[in-house]
Structure 1
């Protein structure tokens, strides 16, 4: 682990490094000899709450909450937020109450989306849910709620969507260190490391971790699945710089260090695309692995498109980080059935 982070409060939610696996059958499906070696890092395989990338961020966020003497963890997200679900699970593991401010960000209102998937699990993990319409400032609502709790003699810790504060992003700075160690163990180096870009925290943390280690942050490449491309790039740049400042204040990014790509957002955040349906089915049927429809499914669609278009053919190995989100498949059952 980065020695600069050893003194920071941390509540351990991962018991071991997540594995890296090669997808040889998918390579064959994409064209014999035409695909680069494709690997996945299984950040969907974590024990708490059904697994997923947000647990890396929550180790530092829950750790700070406990260190500050908080008894309640308050956060925000869309109705089917993976971060909200894992916050509820991590809070339960840590013995904290959890309150979620969830907004109707995605234009879906079918029964499965309203009641299944992450929504079902939020309740199972015992979270208190405050639902708000789209356009409401969820973070302001969360902060108001924290003040109410304070007036009741309690103490709340508040973090915004995705847990993507600079502190939360340290979880993926640690992951960058982990990937470099696994590269040494495997005797290879990934030319590209692909991630979905929603609240930008996964990309920002990885870039900061690589930069602090003297590696090449530009090999982290993300596909925006939430914001328009220019906004996604600006947010990722700023968040990566603020995260790097927590690790190595004297360091800075240079041009080309932050690479965010477009082309997979479709009609908007959480809105399915035909290419996403194809990618999720292809990975499921060739490798028996499950991508979520909101984040990983769209980002993996971009990976497949770049290989098929010849942009990434016969290159050095490519690593895709599977960020979890399996419950989202059940929330999108009607969309997959219609497709």
Structure 2
């Protein structure tokens, strides 16, 4: 990393993602919308067990784990979490054991949701699965992971816990500080310019890292975070905190101002991991017009936000959608997606 990113260049890192990922134009959808031109950053193509944004984040978590000589990774997430699946894949590649704790975060799920998609991959990747009955208790989930880690230590293992709750160094966000530099380098040689970016905002690490990296490197490109987990008001606090933590981690004054943190929760209801009409429509349009596959929990909602914003802009402007992956989740929602397609 460049000198302008302070101490972030000193952090332990293990390479996992296939980068740089391409930026592609979406000409069919751009013509259909008759608004801003749409481009997509294909971070669904990062290569680690179906790819996704978590490969970039895990380079720093697992870099620290290896630096600490850990032999076991522990992580929590929703039943269809892309993060835990990616962690299991990274652990398998690096020869580490992996313990996954699945939270009951999504109500009224069917058997397909509980056995297909990321759950199936977790089993294939050799992870040990645990269950946590609560879905909105991040601190409790982390405490339970620490208890599992303590038991593993009694049996001679060297565990490393990837925390779920806020208040820890945002190592995952560092992956998207790096990605911001990558994107700016790609745009520097492109024959088009980007007026804004759109990304899913859940844990807030991708959103905060991208925004911090852009501002630290002097870019004023706007970043709209589409809320997929909590309200815009609650998410603002989380993204702001991550940016402040990145400032402390890097030793730099935060380049992110309050006005830089743009959020919408227009596509969140009825809640995390639950489909709505605009998300179904976005998923269907992406597939039909561009063969772009989007998942119901994250990228489908974020793409709905991108389509909404693109329609409000004129044809002289351009948006970059950050495709953060999540492809396996499509299969877990198969019965719901086929009920009645969005228009």
The TM tier, using the shorter chain, reads over 0.9
Aligned to 1:262: 265
Output one character per residue of 1:268-312: Cα deviation in whole Å (capped at 9) or x when no partner: 00010011111111110101110111111011111212333xx22
Which among 200, 203, 214 is matched to residue 199 of structure 1?
203
SS at 2:44's partner residue?
A: coil
2:226 corresponds to which residue? 223
CA apart distance, 1:162:
9.4
Give the one of 168, 185, 193 matched to 1:181. 185
- Aligned pair in 2 of structure 1 residues 2, 187: CA closer, same or farther (>3 Å)? farther
Residue-by-residue CA offset, 1:254-276 (whole Å, 9 max, x unaligned): 23121111201010000100111
Structure 2: distance between partners of 1:2 and 1:126: 37
Q: For residues 258 and 100 of structure 2, what CA distance do their matches in structure 1 show?
A: 38
Residues of 1 paired with 2:282 and 2:232: CA distance?
21
Tell me how far 1:29 sits from its aligned partner: 1.5
SS at match of 1:325: coil
Could you tell me how far apart the structure 2 residues matched to 1:155 and 1:235 are? Answer: 30
What per-residue deviation string (whole Å, max 9, x for no partner) do you get for residues 131-151 of structure 1?
A: 121255211111111111112
1:321 aligns with 322
* Structure 1 residue 215 displacement after superposition: 2.2
| 1:253, distance to aligned residue in structure 2 (A) | 2.7
Alignment partner, residue 98 of structure 1: 98
In the aligned structure 2, how far is the partner of 1:109 from the partner of 1:8? 40
Give SS of 1:6's match.
helix
CA RMSD, Structure 1 to Structure 2 (Å): 1.7
| 1:37 lines up with 2:31 in the alignment | no
Taking the aligned partners of 1:23 and 1:314, their CA distance within structure 2 comes to 13
Q: Distance in 2 between matches of 1:306 and 1:16?
A: 28
Partner of 1:250 in structure 2?
253
Tell me, yes or no, if structure 1 residue 240 matches structure 2 residue 232.
no
Between the aligned partners of 2:169 and 2:92, the Cα distance in structure 1 is: 21
Aligned residue pair count: 333
Shift of 1:63: 0.6
Secondary structure class of the residue paired with 2:98: strand
Q: CA deviation at 1:322?
A: 0.4
1:154-173 correspondence runs (5 A): 154-161=157-164, 165-173=169-177
* Distance (Å, rounded) in 2 between the aligned partners of 1:63 and 1:12: 8
* Structure 2 partner of 1:303: 306
Post-superposition, which runs of at least 4 consecutive aligned residues in structure 1 deviate over 4 A? 162-165
Q: What's the CA shift for 1:16?
A: 2.6
Alignment CA distance shift 1:93-1:63 (3 Å): same
- Call closer, same or farther: CA 1:15–1:326 in 2, change over 3 Å: closer
Structure 2: runs of 5 or more not aligned: none
Cα deviation for residue 315 of structure 1 reads 4.5
SS in 1 for 2:101: strand
Aligned equivalent of 1:79: 79
Distance 1:165 1:7, change over 3 A: closer
The alignment partner of 1:209 has SS state of helix
Residue aligning to 1:11: 14
Distance in 2, matches of 1:198 and 1:114, equals 21
Per the normalisation by structure 1, the TM-score is: 0.94
More displaced, 4-13 or 72-81? 4-13
